[in-house]
Amino acid sequence: MTLSPRRIGLAAALVAVVLALPAIASPREDALTDRMVEMQLATLPIGVIMQDIARQDAGWPAADRDDISAKQLACLRREISPDGQRVLVRPKIAAYVAADPARAEVDVALLETGAGKLFGDLVLAGAAAETSGGTTDPADVMMAAGPTVQANFLKFFESEEHQAARDAFGIGGLTAGANGEDFGAKLALELMRHGFDTCGVSIDPR
């Protein structure tokens, strides 16, 4: 059968439309992304810390802002929380999973042994020391985790094979010599900016 120029043009147009469609993740990749997102939140509980602050201050993070409505404030408090953190981190993690599901499975399985939670416990202990004068010794947190979790923790956060996963989590540049407080402040600011942008509020007072 001879294709007419019109049919050839239509076929080409349909191919272009298909190529322009976003890739659709498989159910397996969706489930793996869900697991990895939850591990990111367990590892870096920035939203949890901010949610705790919000519970103690009904006006936070805009108590002194008369240009922010009650609706905008409610939006901010929702987005600067674990739910907002999930929205913020998911695209990058989903892209990582889609690029190499097998590699991502190895990463998340290692974190799920307790390695991710251990890092999160250290973050929470540091936050408690800053906000409420907590005195938990990081060494005590490490010891309580046990040797297997400690080994998996060190493997994930120091091994080159997990560098891409650390990048996807937003902690690729965190090294043993890095200032943990500065790094935590950077991650908190990213979540704050996400909240203000999502809620259509300027982060700087007018």
**In the block, which residue shows the tokens 């519970």?**
55
Query: Rounded to whole angstroms, how far apart are CA atoms 136 and 129?
Result: 7
Query: What are the φ and ψ backbone dihedral angles of 26, each rounded to 5 degrees?
Result: -75, 160
Pull the structure tokens for residue 169: 């989590």
Convert the pLDDT of each residue in 180-198 to its tens digit.
677 778 889 999 999 999 9
Report the alpha-carbon distance of residue 101 to residue 107 in Å, rounded.
10
End-to-end CA distance of the chain: 68
Listed in sequence order, the residues at least 6 apart from 184 whose beta carbon sits closer than 8 Å to its beta carbon are 46, 123, 126, 127
Q: CA-CA distance, 32 to 34, in Å (whole number)?
A: 5
Is pLDDT of 19 > 60? Answer: no
Residue 6 CB neighbours (<10 A): 8
Range from 31-35, 61-65, 80-84 carrying the lowest mean pLDDT = 61-65
Q: Is the pLDDT of residue 165 over 60?
A: yes
Average of per-residue pLDDT across 23-35: 83
Quick check: 82 pLDDT over 70?
A: yes
Q: How far apart are CA 17 and CA 11, in angstroms?
A: 10
The pLDDT of residue 38 is above 80: yes
Compute how many other C-beta atoms are within 10 angstroms of the C-beta atom of residue 61: 20
Q: Report if pTM > 0.85.
A: no
Q: How far apart are CA 127 and CA 120, in angstroms?
A: 10
